[in-house]
Amino acid sequence: MGILTYSGEHDGFRQRVRRFLEKEVVSQAEQWEKDRRVPKRAWKKLGEAGFLCTAVSKKYGGHGKDFLYSVIVAEEMVKTGQNGLVSGLHSDIVVPYIESFGSEELKEKYLPGCVSGDIITAVAMTEPGAGSDLAAMETTAVEDGDEIVINGSKIFISNGVNCDIVILAAKDPSVENKHEAVSLYILENGAKGFTRGRKLEKMGMHSQDTSELFFTDCRIPKTNRLGEKGHGFLMLMQKLQQERLVSAIWNVAAAEQILEVIVEYCKRTNICGKPLSKSQATRFTLAEMATEVKMNRVFLDHVIFRHMEGQAVTEETMMLKFASSEMSNHMIDKALDLYGESGALETNPLVRCFRDLRVNTIFAGTTEIMKTIIAGTMKL
């Protein structure tokens, strides 16, 4: 028995998610990749089925479920072989900012739509000159009466094309302390002065709409600020724990899927009259891969358990994020090597996975940033 306890209700939920994704997502994944975008109706269907924002309180139209439901959706989504309909970003990374820090008015206004899929969310932190160092952002937010005037730009924003609202990080230029200058705001699609730039063409995750966002004297109500003024950086740091955990869930689930695919390939593929899986070199490689996956899974489940208990696992999530992302990239390299020449074909089921996984060591904090912060906790 693992450290995580899944009930019969959890198991039933997983089966419903799996059936839904097989019908509504797997069959559409190839077309979404060609279109370079997931249609909004797919988000709507996901919401109608009850698979978005499972943790949101019933008071706001949610389901009030525990974090294991989020884990289940993420794990099953990995098996669809596409990374455009990234429900975990919406449900478990962006929406929690609203539920945790939004006023009652903002929660009632936006959360029901987030649950139903009528509202797609994005979070805008990264800028052309400010990625890992969030405090170095240049986008400004200046108070003008009852409004906030925003100027600046953001880049590499997932859901940037489809999003209906954006959780925007911007600074007050009059505040000298750069960490105390940042606040978070909700910005709606259609706000005057808010424009979307080009949809970025990436090496992977082709169906995910990633874009630039621009703000030119963009005005929003002051009431759209999340939490207190100047607390934005603290909010970001607080929520990064779950963001990195969600990223790790995706990494480990992807690695498990890769292992399953390559093991089956090696069993059914004959080389010199015997299955490839009977070669000592192959067996050793697969054993090493299985060990890496298992170690990351045990660590992941341990951190999920502690996170659900409300414990601070900031250091562990950073370790897990960098370890799992590096591991999943290592796994796909090894798997494609075992495929040989067919590992270079677009028809290979793991080629898209290879492209999609590469960025995982970069977003939600690069491996180098994770190591830097971990070293700091060690007082090095």
User: What integer pLDDT is reported at residue 128 of this predicted model?
Assistant: 87
Min mean pLDDT across 296-305, 328-337, 360-369 is at: 360-369
Backbone dihedral angles phi then psi of residue 212, each to the nearest 5 degrees: -95, 150
pLDDT score recorded for residue 129: 81
User: Does 90 have pLDDT greater than 60?
Assistant: yes
Q: Which amino acid is at 55?
A: A
- For residues 158 and 160, what is the distance between their CA atoms, to the nearest angstrom? 5
Indicate whether 262 pLDDT > 80.
yes
* CATH number 3.10.180.10 given to 122-229: no
* Fold of domain 8-119: Butyryl-Coa Dehydrogenase, subunit A; domain 1 (1.10.540)
- Give the model's pLDDT for residue 131: 72
Tell me the pLDDT tens digit for each residue of 35-88: 999 999 999 999 999 999 999 999 999 999 999 999 999 999 999 989 999 899
pLDDT of 180 above 70: yes
For the chain, percent of residues with pLDDT exceeding 90: 89
Judge whether residue 195 has pLDDT over 90: yes
Q: Which residues are catalytic?
A: 243
Q: How confident is the model at residue 22 (pLDDT cuts 50, 70, 90)?
A: very high
Query: Which tokens sit at 326?
Result: 């590096």
pLDDT tens per residue, range 138-150: 999 999 999 999 9
DSSP, res 127: B
Residues facing 184 on adjacent strands = 169, 226
CA-CA distance, 315 to 374, in Å (whole number)? 6
User: Torsion angle, CA of 110/33/197/74, rounded to 10 degrees?
Assistant: 40
pLDDT at residue 378, as a whole number: 92
pLDDT of residue 151: 98
221: β partners: 147
pLDDT of residue 130: 76
Is the pLDDT score of 280 beyond 80? yes
What pLDDT score was predicted for residue 65? 97
Query: What is the per-residue pLDDT across 210-238, written as a single tens digit (0 to 9) for each?
Result: 999 999 999 999 999 999 999 999 999 99
Just give the CATH number of 234-377. Answer: 1.20.140.10
Q: Is the pLDDT of residue 1 over 70?
A: no
Q: Which of 85, 79, 76, 9 is nearest to 47 (CA)?
A: 85
Nearby residues of 172 by Cβ (< 8 Å), 6 or more positions away: 140, 141, 142, 143, 181, 183, 229, 230
| Averaged pLDDT of the chain | 94
DSSP letters spanning 258-319? HHHHHHHHHHH-EETTEEGGGSHHHHHHHHHHHHHHHHHHHHHHHHHHHHHTT---HHHHHH
Domain boundaries, the chain: 8-119, 122-229, 234-377
Structure tokens at 102: 């939004």
Does residue 329 register a pLDDT over 70? yes
Percent of the chain with pLDDT over 70: 99
Q: Is the pLDDT of residue 133 over 80?
A: no
Report pTM.
0.94
Q: Once rounded to an integer, what is the mean pLDDT over residues 4-30?
A: 96
Q: At what angle do helices 367-377 and 314-339 cross, to 10 degrees?
A: 140
